[in-house]
Chains A and B, each alone.
Chain A
């Protein structure tokens, strides 16, 4: 699938709205971080990645690892929109017996490669997957989406060193840099700055973009990468992107919109889907 930038923008708006409504039905969800990362996930699934929902285990596929597992409320609607399963299944989100809840389970969700939820696990698992792909001489890329707060975890930096040491040119990590974690603005808790210098110093090829600007997101993924180096895309984003009244507000890490906000979201995003 290879959508144009305007098509991707519409798609992202549509999935944002679906995610919000799914969270509404479920009675809660990690709304802020799901919305901030939506442009990245949409670009990956509708343009960048070699994937086939009819053959989810195609050995030649690219791999997506949602290291920040709490963004499942954004990720699961992306999978359904891409055709891995029917949209109606989203109404079961977080219900007893549903294949999906707050954090994704690879053994229950078609198209989900890795079970996550505890932060700091995805990147080291991605290292193992990337190493094994290279060992099997497969020309696939592993994409790993992390939260910014997740970078507080030591295992992220173990994997940062490991990926550079093993020259994993088939690994692309993205930080959804929405400047917030759960308790507040990240700089008021433990700052990641200077984040670009840090990842560079760890031996990564680093690109910094506006992660809510679809043209920049696509360009970051499509530009040529230096061989033998893992790539880190630092994506500046807004937590809660798409719903103006919650954008940039860390209080919206988890929640459910009220009637008025929901109306606003439907107007804003609905307009973008159709516009």
Chain B
């Protein structure tokens, strides 16, 4: 039994989305003041596991995301841990003002648990892609942003986010099918995890891009290049210490995110290094363009979001480092 309430064997069999549902349902036992709010997508967000167990603590607002987020603020004002679930684009775009003003400005214990973020609803098209959510959420004071990279980390992140007091945006995508985090480990909000040591450059990623970063690092290793790989599961507050250590010790950074390069992790890292220890920072992500639709692999490839693109960015970073 892992200390997160679910057994490791169970988690290994789950998709990240199912892991989220199970973790939330489990947490319902730990937190009698936890309420779940949904907007006609409780089933597809997998929060249904909680709803089944705690119907009296589940509230469906229908297709009214703004009302749901404002109502979550109302619950939190009364001391509840209010978990509001919806697709990422709806929480960040449709309910943007409610998140900023009702949740963040009032500094309330609302957990925005966003599913289907990034390009994970690939065939649904740009309307359903969440590729600006991190930029939007990052700009709000009091907000914390956490993005787990696989099923195990999703369970850990859900628990950490619920234990933390204050507004959080938990960004979940389809999640990597391959586990990138192994064994039981401590998940601490704001503390990045170095998955692989390296001295030539550092690849910093979150969410599904962590796995791509590991693949890219492997390919680099075959060429004798030692890449450090960091799982930056908390985008805000950024683990500044980890970023500066990477800058000082490896001298070049590649960031990778399933998000526009504007306002995301890449800019956060670049801003930090620019201030304290400038090094080349090459940003992998959507290059200021809207996404295409189609099958997931095809879409990610078209948008420049796989290991090959990280590899190309790494070469640029190394060249600039030695210039």
Q: Which of B57, B62, B70, B101 contacts A135 (CB 8 A)?
A: B57
In chain B, residues 83-138, which have Cβ atoms closer than 8 Å to a Cβ of chain A? 97-98, 101-102, 105-107
A159 and B74 CA atoms in complex are apart in Å by: 12
> Is the beta-carbon distance between B75 and A115 smaller than 8 angstroms?
no
Q: Are B77 and A129 in contact (CB under 8 A)?
A: yes
CA distance A143 to B208 in the complex (A): 46
- Within the complex, the shortest CB–CB distance from B76 to chain A, in Å, comes to 8
Q: What 1/0 mask marks residues of chain A from 117 to 159 whose CB sits below 8 Å from any chain B CB?
A: 1100100111111111101100000000000000000110011
B106→A121 contact, CB < 8 A: no
Judged by a CB distance under 8 angstroms, whether B35 is at the interface is: yes
Contact between chains at A128 and B73 (CB < 8 Å): yes
In contact, B57 and A158 (Cβ under 8 angstroms): no
* Known contacts A125-B71, A128-B82, A162-B71, A115 near B64 by CB under 8 Å: no
Contacting residue for A128 out of B75, B101, B105, B107, CB 8 A: B75
A2 at the binding interface (Cβ < 8 Å): no
A124 B59 Cβ-Cβ under 8 A: no
Q: Are A107 and B75 in contact (CB under 8 A)?
A: no
Report the separation of the CA atoms of residues A130 and B75 in the bound assembly, to the nearest whole angstrom: 8
A113, CB-defined interface residue at 8 Å: yes
Q: Are B106 and A159 within 8 A (Cβ)?
A: no
What is the CB-to-nearest-CB distance from B59 to chain A, in angstroms, rounded to a whole number? 6
Q: Which of A113, A115, A133, A159 contacts B67 (CB 8 A)?
A: A159
Whether, in the assembled complex, B61 has its beta carbon less than 8 Å from a beta carbon of chain A, the answer is yes
Nearest chain-A residue to B101 (Cβ)? Answer: A118
Known: A125-B74, A128-B82. A115 touches B106 (CB 8 A): yes
Q: Is B291 an interface residue (CB 8 A)?
A: no
- Name which residue of chain B comes closest to A132, CB basis: B78
Contact: B70 with A166, CB < 8 Å?
no
Instruction: List chain A residues, Cβ under 8 A from B273.
Output: none
Give the residue name and chain of the A residue nearest to B68 (CB): A124
- A131, A136, A158: the one contacting B74 at CB < 8 Å is A131
Is A215 engaged at the interface, CB distance under 8 Å to the other chain? Answer: no
B-side interface mostly: helix
Given the complex, which residues of A lie within 8 Å of B105, measured CB to CB?
115
| A-B residue pair count with CB separations less than 8 angstroms | 89
A131→B71 contact, CB < 8 A: yes
Is A114 close to B, CB under 8 A? yes
Cβ-closest chain A residue relative to B71: A128
Contacts A121-B98, A128-B82, A131-B59 given; does A162 touch B74 at CB 8 Å = no
Question: Using a CB-CB cutoff of 8 Å, which residues 252-282 of chain B contact chain A?
Answer: none
B56 to A135, Cβ gap below 8 A?
Answer: yes
Q: Which residue of A lies closest to B39 (CB)?
A: A158
Which of B62, B66, B80 touches A124 (beta carbons < 8 Å)? B66
Chain B: minimal CB distance from A192 (Å) = 19
Question: For the complex, is A198 an interface residue (Cβ under 8 Å from B)?
Answer: no
Which residues on the B side are within 8 Å of A107 (C-beta)? 106-107
Q: In the docked arrangement, what's the CA distance between A255 and B122, Å?
A: 52
Chain A residue numbers with a CB within 8 Å of B98 are 121, 124, 155
A172 CB to nearest B CB, Å: 15
Partner of B66, one of A106, A126, A155: A155
Name the distance in Å between A160's Cβ and chain B's nearest Cβ.
Answer: 9
B38 to chain A, nearest CB (A): 12
How far, in angstroms, from A113 to B78 measured CA to CA in the complex? 10
Instruction: List 5 A-B pairs, minimum CB-CB distance, nearest first.
Output: A128-B74, A128-B71, A124-B70, A158-B67, A158-B64
Supply 11 further A-B pairs (C-beta < 8 A) apart from A106-B77, A121-B101, A128-B72. A107-B106, A115-B101, A124-B67, A124-B74, A125-B102, A128-B75, A129-B74, A132-B75, A135-B56, A158-B67, A165-B62
A to B CB contacts below 8 Å, 28 in the list: A107-B106, A113-B77, A115-B106, A118-B101, A121-B98, A121-B101, A124-B66, A124-B67, A124-B74, A125-B70, A125-B102, A127-B71, A127-B74, A128-B77, A129-B78, A131-B74, A132-B35, A132-B74, A132-B79, A132-B80, A135-B35, A155-B66, A158-B64, A159-B71, A161-B64, A162-B67, A162-B71, A166-B59
